Amino acid sequence: MVFLGLHVAIWIVLVAYLAGMLLMGWWSKRGIANQEGYLLGNRQFGVTMMVMHAFGAGTNPGDVAGVVSKTVSAGASGIWVSWMWMFGTPFYWLIAPIVRRMRCLTLADFFQERFGKPASALYILVASAGMIVCLASVLLATARTAQGLMGKATTQTAAVDELQSRSATPPSLPGQTQRPAATTATAPLTERESEMWFFGILLVTTAVFLVYSYWGGIVAAIRTDMIQGLMIIALSVIAIPAALNLTEVGGLSGLRATLAAQTDRGNLLSLFDPDQFNLWTVILLCVNAPLSALAFPHLIPVCGAGRTEWEGRVGFAYGNMLKRICTIGWCLLGLAWLTYLIQTDAAIHPDAAFGDSIRMLLSPLLQGVMLACVLATAMSSGDAFQITIAGLFAENIYRVYFKPGADDRHMVHVTRIAGIVVVLTALAIAVLVRESVVKAILDYFNILALVGISTAMGILWRRMNMTGMFCSTISAVVVFVATRYVGDLSRGVTIGLPILAGVAGGIIGSLLSRPPQRERIERFLTKIYVPIGQEEKLNLPLDEAVPASQRWITTGGLFIPKPTRQTWLGFLVTLGICVLCVIVMVALLNR
């Protein structure tokens, strides 16, 4: 049975999913009476919820669609579209407890406490503008991906229908009846009809996560991320067996044989691409990752909504590690689809690969599940961005400059209103800048690292001051723009030089200006190095809270305490899992 061009099973799954998310948001309204409740859920969550929150907040439709797209166009090296964060992940284990010990509501609170109000304002300006663009790109990627999955895009529908008409019957998954491929074929849409579907998908998706985030704040976001995270994992594996079992693919052995024979396109089974993802570029991207993480506006709730710093540490590191593992599945799907396209001599634009492959491989019911997964990835990122950006404006602009004496109930209301404005602004950007917003957000994630340099230097170097923060951020951004847009240099240069410029700017700016007050710096360092649960030490002098016997590096004004056994052992374990992921992927490609 078909309704509005889609099988009724797809509609049933989508309606059930969206209704469930709204119900979860309504239920989460209880107990939110203040800003800590709305922004951090009163720091009540355990390890499982924190893992799924970090996983959901860090995953959006652009990740899976981007990996599949790049894999179809360049082979296995497309995995680095998502794995660019891989070897930064062990550093998340180090970052999380420090962020939790900041005891802040927003990351702008850190900049204000460490550098002063002007630095906080600069951070809010850069981070908020970029994250609104990021949210716009999430909305846009969701609408376009869902549009392709539903066969409601003019360029994709005709192409996949041509493939379906000449392909073998797709294999059945366990418990699934075999069906002819042509049952999902649809007549090509006009440009106007395609745009109507685009706007419909965009508006419905935006409305649902806007409403449940408005009601339940970070509590609703984390609870829905638990459900949506499980769905994202399902997205990572659900289509792989069907893709590998296609007659034209012939399993992993057939995949490897077909791709190895394509010598004119380079080594499609290599994890490194000499053009965009060579070894040097991948190393720089991994250096870039922890710096970018240190500037994420949603870093505070991702690390700080847990009961203790252990929940934040495990959640931040292993929620993102879960994404690295899922990326293997996304890359395998892309390689299988690339093999199918080669064997059938078909030409489909890489950006359409994910949606087209799912429509061909899965039954209507599973297509509905996959659509729900795509919406889940968007909502799990969108709700975190919305709440965090709204919190920045409410706590660090409205409360500081407009109404310092506002009570908690009033501030929760202001944050909710700010969240609506944030989402509507992102929605407008998604509509107005449809084609370039994805490229813009990829560049912005590099710029996040440039802001993150100041965060890292503020934590590690006592001499860093507000002048150094401004010099670091501005010089890094200027060099990035010059190398990326004016000089049009290689990716490695556009990553490495801005980081060097930011570090140099921070050092020179700080040394040429007045040092920060010693009492202020020592009070800050005491705060971030006193573990959660030992608050009685917060009023002690730094020399007593962190005595010389507990300090590791202090040369040149650096202040780095000795790592605990939990710290270095956890770092090594996380690093080992990263290496194991690479080994597994190499084995799959070359066995």
Task: List per-block mean pLDDT (blocks of 10 residues) for the chain, which spans 591 residues.
Answer: 68 76 62 53 71 74 78 88 87 92 85 90 80 76 71 53 47 37 49 73 75 57 62 74 88 91 82 76 81 81 82 91 90 92 76 76 78 70 72 81 80 80 81 56 64 92 95 91 76 83 96 93 92 89 92 92 94 95 92 70
Taking residue 583's Cβ as centre, other Cβ atoms within 10 Å add up to: 10
pTM for the whole thing?
Answer: 0.80
pLDDT (0 to 100) of residue 381: 66
Task: Find the helix packing angle between 117-149 and 61-74, rounded to 10°.
Answer: 60
Q: How far is CA 138 from CA 61, 434, 447, 565, in A?
A: 7, 11, 18, 39
Handedness of CA 80, 88, 323, 251 (dihedral sign): positive
DSSP 171: P
Instruction: State residue 171 phi and psi, 5-degree precision.
Output: -70, 160
Would you say 66 and 59 are in contact if contact means Cβ atoms under 8 Å apart? no
Domain boundaries, the chain: 13-439+569-590
What residues are paired with 273 via a beta bridge?
Answer: 277
- Look at residue 540 and give its three-state secondary structure: coil
Of 476, 486, 18, 478, whose CA–CA distance to 212 is shortest? 18
- Look at residue 2 and give its three-state secondary structure: strand
pLDDT (0 to 100) of residue 36: 53
Handedness of CA 70, 71, 75, 79 (dihedral sign): positive
pLDDT (0 to 100) of residue 345: 80
What CATH class is the domain 13-439+569-590? mainly alpha
CA distance 403 to 516: 28
Of 206, 201, 199, 202, whose CA–CA distance to 21 is shortest? 206
Question: What is the token pair recorded at 548?
Answer: 């010389």
pLDDT (0 to 100) of residue 574: 95
